Structure 1
Amino acid sequence: MANVFVRYTAFACIATVSNLLAQRFVLALLTGAFALPLAIGVGTGVGLVVKYLLDRKWVFQQTKALTPKSAWEFVRYTATGVITTCLFWGTESGAWLIFKTDVARELGAILGLGMGYVVKYQLDKRYVFKSNP
């Protein structure tokens, strides 16, 4: 179980960095009212795919190749992320609205993602990857 925790935490960090780098990329290209929401959406998508692929193989020991049937697994994985994504988006957006700095926004994102990943592990274990950790 300790190895699962270490891997899950490491992959959460990798997905968080991937998310924030994708956001920075979008924000470097765009300005205006829709830049931040679009950046958050793109970052969320990037982080989701990165985390799914890492979790699937290294946390939940799903070693079979991805197939069209895996799409339903990804749908379930995404569905469990809806609640946790709301938590992440809320803390990131709230930090931005309160403090109006990129540092606060990114700290809000890190806090929200961290809390969300704790909840998401339990949901994924129960509803997505039922047979393992």
Structure 2
Amino acid sequence: MSASRLVIFYALFAGLSILANIGFQKLSLIAYSGPFSVLFSVVVGTAVGLIVKFALDKIWIFRYRHRDLSHGIRSFLLYTVMGLATTAIFWGFEFGANAIYHSEPTRFTGGVIGLVIGYIVKYRLDKRFVFA
């Protein structure tokens, strides 16, 4: 895949993952509004975004095939570990925006900004350590 197509597809898939993440956060907030509802929604959104992004990256960006189920599980776990630092970036922006502005739209905006930065970093980590 050419570099320009790679950037376009990676950005498109990052956008889809961001939509899945923020969408499931919103659905979680609709379904549950009790104590720790924001934290719960962020965890749910993060999990959904992680699964969506892993599948898209594995198949379309890196064209990676697992040897067997255990190799696939190890790859997903390594992908998840690589995502810990980028999740810290994402959560930092989202919770930071929430702490400063105390509104859902700005919290989601902070989350999107954090996700964009995180996905740029994550591509480099995945290319080098997960899908090498």
Pair in the same fold by TM > 0.5: yes
Q: TM-score range by the shorter chain?
A: over 0.9
The alignment's C-alpha RMSD in Å is 1.2
Counterpart code for 1:94: G
After TM superposition, which residue ranges in structure 1, 4 or more long, deviate above 3 angstroms?
Answer: 63-66
Aligned to 1:23: 25
C-alpha displacement of 1:68? 2.8
Aligned to 1:41: 43
Q: Work out the CA distance in 2 between the residues paired with 1:14 and 1:31.
A: 25
Percent identical residues = 37
Asked whether the equivalents of residues 66 and 72 of structure 2 are also in contact (C-alpha less than 8 Å), the reply is no
C-alpha displacement of 1:106? 0.7
Q: Work out the CA distance in 1 between the residues paired with 2:7 and 2:39.
A: 31
Aligned pairs for 1:1-133 (under 5 A) are: 1-63=3-65, 67-130=69-132
Distance 1:51 1:66, change over 3 A: farther
**Aligned partner of residue 68 in structure 1, secondary structure:** helix
**Aligned partner of residue 69 in structure 2, secondary structure:** coil
**Aligned partner of residue 19 in structure 2, secondary structure:** helix
Q: Deviations over 1:83-118 (max 9, x none)?
A: 000000010001011001111001000000000000
Q: Work out the CA distance in 2 between the residues paired with 1:105 and 1:87.
A: 14
Q: Work out the CA distance in 2 between the residues paired with 1:10 and 1:66.
A: 28
C-alpha displacement of 1:33? 2.8
Q: TM-score, normalised by structure 2?
A: 0.94
Q: Work out the CA distance in 1 between the residues paired with 2:28 and 2:66.
A: 34
Query: Mind listing any 5+ residue stretches in structure 2 that lack a counterpart?
Result: none
- Number of matched residues? 130
Asked whether the equivalents of residues 29 and 41 of structure 2 are also in contact (C-alpha less than 8 Å), the reply is yes
C-alpha displacement of 1:65? 7.8
